[in-house]
Structure formats: C-alpha cells, structure tokens
C-alpha cells in the first residue's frame, strides 16, 4: 500500500484496487482500515460476480 501523511491523519490506498483506501491516526490504523476496505470490495465483487452463475456450477 501507499501511505501518506495529511496533517494529523495517515491516508492509505492501493492503486491496483480502485476505491480501496483507508485512514487512521497512525500508519498501522491506516493500513488496517485499508485492509478492511479491500476485504469489503472483494466481498462485494464476489457477490456481484456470482449473480449469474447457476447454483449447480462447480
């Protein structure tokens, strides 16, 4: 991830995953926030990607 300082906050983002960003008062908090955002994005994309898959697909 890329972590930048903005005043009292740290902003973390992942250029490879559009929309994935996090923030925190420390670098560790920003990194954890980013990890949570990535997990939510993947979960959403997984659900969206499976919408048209037949239930008996392997």
Among the listed residues 33, 29, 9, 7, the one whose alpha carbon sits nearest the alpha carbon of residue 20: 33
- pLDDT number for residue 53: 85
- pLDDT number for residue 49: 84
Q: What are the residues whose beta carbons fall under 8 Å from the beta carbon of 30, sequence distance 6 or more?
A: 3, 9, 10, 11, 12, 22, 23, 24
pLDDT per residue rounded down to tens, the chain (58 residues): 999 999 999 999 999 999 999 999 999 999 999 999 999 999 999 888 888 888 888 7
- pLDDT number for residue 58: 73
Whole-structure pTM value: 0.82
- pLDDT number for residue 50: 83
Token match 């990535």: residue? 38
């Amino acid at each position: 991830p890329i972590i930048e300082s903005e005043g009292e906050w740290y902003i973390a983002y992942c250029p490879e995953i559009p929309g994935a960003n996090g923030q925190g008062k420390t670098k560790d908090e920003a990194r954890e926030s980013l990890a949570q955002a990535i997990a939510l994005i993947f979960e959403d994309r997984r659900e969206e990607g499976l919408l048209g898959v037949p239930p008996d697909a392997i």
